[in-house]
Homo-oligomer: A and B are copies of this chain.
Amino acid sequence: MEEQKRAEGVPLPPAARVGGVVADIDTPSLILDLDAFEENLRTMQVLAERNGVALRPHAKAHKCPEIALRQIALGAQGICCQKVSEAVPFVAAGVRDIHISNEVVGAAKLALLARLARQARVSVCVDHAQALHALSGAMGVQSASIAVLVEIDVGQKRCGVQTPDEALALARLAQQLPNVEFVGLQAYHGGLQHKRSLDQRKKSCDKTLQVIRAFLSAFEQAAIPCPIVTGGGTGSAAFDVGSKVFTEIQAGSYPFMDGDYASNDWGHALSFKHSLFLLGTVMSTPTAERAIVDMGLKSTSAESGLPQPADASSGWSCLAINDEHTILQAANAKSRPALGAQVRLIPGHCDPTFNLHDSIVVVRGQQVEAVWPISARGLSR
């Protein structure tokens, strides 16, 4: 175990023992409930297949090869990674189809990307001619080849070209340059995923689709084939799959259903279950209504909301979070969890929470079935 290696003076025992029970897991720990997780995987895969769209789950959400392999085994096309270094442990684990859903700039990153492209089918985004020249050059040095998608800005105001003309120019450049192959467009709008009402999300999604259609029509007029249109996410998946625009969707959070996504109104469109939890222990009960849990911002993200009790009828809620503490407020002395009690919380946002943990404890009911390494944790280059 990695943690054992780091502790030379005194060995660090692992947080959980396979075959053990949840009550014996040391805290704070990240927990995956297998029943809910597997159901979520099936729900999204079925949705994609029923609509004839490929599912390419985003591995930036979990950074865990064991999870990616299960997504692929169930029918996913491959995975997305957001960073080149993030893709490394997935390639090592045998994933052979990876889309880097991001621009890659810098010699060290391009050299690594070329090495990966020699071991797997790899695609990447571009939004600038200079970056595309550098990409082609770096691939050439290692005799690698890579598929290229032009990223278009569909309202997120982040990366991506602004106009169809820019996109066409990049596609034509890719057709001219060696070792790169233009294969389509990426259109992603993160913000709309988290609009709360189903109706708002649908409206935003429709707006995005209009933008994409304008780009596609320019490509059609220019007679440049655009076989792949990739994008979409968990919050818009119900609309993305029937859009006739996206050929594949990049949903990342659906296996986990974090607190932020749970705040969305899902209507009858889709239904996901909470499978991702934080396990903490009450380490202090200084007043009748206050309990302090041994877990804070170093174990969970809170930028999308505080963690919340997994059991909504618990009689307590999270009042505040510090670096290593979460402060619980109980309705009364009776509902305050006792000193030493284990508590289960739902993290606000899955992606940065996974990125804080070296491994995830995989449980079915009260049994520990496995401990999976989060091998791409911290790999942000």
Residues of A whose CB lies within 8 Å of any CB of B are 2-3, 6-10, 12-13, 15, 26-29, 60, 82-83, 85, 88-89, 91-92, 102-106, 108-109, 111-112, 115-116, 119, 127-128, 130-131, 153, 157-162, 190, 281-287, 290, 292, 294-299, 301-303, 322-325, 327, 339-340, 351-352, 355-358, 375, 377-381
| A160: contacting residue among B109, B116, B157, B286, CB under 8 A | B286
Give complex CA distance A288, B158 in Å.
13
Give the interface centre of A82, A130, A294, A302 by most chain B CB atoms within 10 Å: A294
* Distance from A241 Cβ to chain B, minimum over Cβ atoms (Å): 24
Task: Report yes or no: A325 in contact with B159, Cβ–Cβ below 8 A.
Answer: yes
Task: Report yes or no: A295 in contact with B380, Cβ–Cβ below 8 A.
Answer: yes
With a cutoff of 8 Å between Cβ atoms, the chain B residues found around residue A12 in the complex are: 85, 88, 112, 379
With a cutoff of 8 Å between Cβ atoms, the chain B residues found around residue A92 in the complex are: 6-10
Q: Known interface pairs A109-B26, A298-B355. Does A323 touch B281 (Cβ–Cβ under 8 Å)?
A: no
* Distance from A350 Cβ to chain B, minimum over Cβ atoms (Å): 10
With a cutoff of 8 Å between Cβ atoms, the chain B residues found around residue A108 in the complex are: 13, 26
Task: Report yes or no: A130 in contact with B339, Cβ–Cβ below 8 A.
Answer: yes
Q: Known interface pairs A88-B7, A339-B131, A381-B26. Does A103 touch B159 (Cβ–Cβ under 8 Å)?
A: no
Q: Known interface pairs A26-B381, A281-B106, A324-B380. Does A6 touch B89 (Cβ–Cβ under 8 Å)?
A: yes
| A103: contacting residue among B284, B322, B327, CB under 8 A | B284
With a cutoff of 8 Å between Cβ atoms, the chain B residues found around residue A8 in the complex are: 89, 92
Task: Report yes or no: B119 in contact with A10, Cβ–Cβ below 8 A.
Answer: yes
Which 3 A-B residue pairings sit nearest by Cβ, starting from the closest? A9-B92, A8-B92, A159-B284
**Between-chain CB contacts (< 8 Å), 7 pairs:** A9-B88, A26-B108, A82-B324, A105-B281, A159-B325, A160-B284, A298-B378
Task: Report yes or no: A322 in contact with B190, Cβ–Cβ below 8 A.
Answer: yes
| A3: contacting residue among B7, B102, B284, B379, CB under 8 A | B379
* Distance from A296 Cβ to chain B, minimum over Cβ atoms (Å): 8
Q: Known interface pairs A10-B112, A26-B108, A106-B26. Does A324 touch B283 (Cβ–Cβ under 8 Å)?
A: no
